[in-house]
Amino acid sequence: MMNGGQRIATSTGVMLADPAELGNSLKETQALFDPKFWAARGELAPVSGGRGAAWFIGGADNPWVLRHYRRGGWVARVSKDGYVWAGEARVRAFAEWRMLAHLSRLGLPVPTPIAAWYRRYGLTYRCDLITRRIADTQTLSAMLAAAALPDSSWQSIGVVIKRLHRAGADHADLNAHNILLDTHGAVSVIDFDRGRLRAAGAWPAQNLRRLHRSLLKISGPWPADRFLPSAWEAFLRGYRTL
């Protein structure tokens, strides 16, 4: 077991999974990470947004999200999805699985990790992650594109981000696309790739600055009421309540 997950060697790679979450799907092993497998079952739909390849997979009993890790920036010109091998402990999908497993055990609103997998190709590897889908949600960016949010929503977002920070969760890319709100206003945070569990320091303030820049950038073309200074003030009130 690795931090609550079971390490499973497959014919072409290694999987880290929670057998209780996988259930009968455990026998499929690496097929779970193949979009063609899910398409053949009629259980595949693309997820919009982001640079990575992601799909909604599974049926009513296993509503999951499959994400194939993709490179960004200039490195993607060399390899779109290959990462330098630095040992199993450094596999990005495994690192994110372990972080999500830890935060889930604390009862924080993040995706429940189901399984991660890597395939090694000499000095490089490729990897994938399956998480439980958070139902009936929209990204903060999509919601703001449609209408302004009430102060209560901004305060709720601030409370959740503070809870994550108190747990030591340093989100490497905290932005308006990685915050979800459901139909009842509940807030979740997704995409912890490159995230780390850290002791207290300056990193929470860096997370907040990144989020603020994201909100200013996406709201630029929209009506002015979509992200007023008062919205950020409401967020900070929520953040400071804990």
Q: For each of the chain's 242 residues, which pLDDT tens digit applies?
A: 445 689 998 878 899 998 888 877 766 777 899 999 999 999 999 987 555 589 999 988 899 999 999 986 555 456 789 999 999 999 999 999 999 999 999 999 999 999 999 999 999 999 999 999 999 999 999 999 999 999 999 999 999 999 999 999 999 999 999 999 999 999 999 999 999 999 999 999 999 999 999 999 999 999 999 999 999 999 999 999 98
pLDDT of residue 76: 47
SS3 annotation, 154-197: HHHHHHHHHHHHHCCEECCCCCCCCEEEECCCCEEECCCCCCEE
Q: Tell which phi-psi region holds residue 139, choosing left (phi > 0), alpha (psi between -120 and 50) or beta.
A: beta
Contacts of 117 (CB under 8 A, 6+ apart): 10, 13, 14, 15, 16, 30, 32, 33, 93, 127, 128, 129
Q: Are 96 and 112 in contact (CB under 8 A)?
A: no
On whether the pTM is more than 0.85, the answer is yes
Q: Kindly report the CATH number that applies to the domain delimited by 137-239.
A: 1.10.510.10
pLDDT at 78: 62
Query: Which sequence spans correspond to the domains of the chain?
Result: 6-132, 137-239
Q: Is 99 helix (H, G, I), strand (E, B) or coil?
A: helix
Q: How far apart are CA 20 and CA 115, in angstroms?
A: 11
| CA 111 – CA 102 distance, rounded (Å) | 11
Q: Tell me, what's the pLDDT at 179?
A: 98
Question: Which among 110, 175, 111 is positioned nearest to 142, based on CA atoms?
Answer: 175
Q: Which residues, at least 6 apart from 199, have a Cβ–Cβ distance to it below 8 Å?
A: 168
Reading the block at residue 23, the tokens are 């259930």
Which residue out of 173, 182, 191, 193 is catalytically annotated?
173
Could you tell me if 96 and 16 are in contact, meaning their C-beta atoms sit under 8 angstroms apart?
no
Determine whether 193 is an active site residue: no
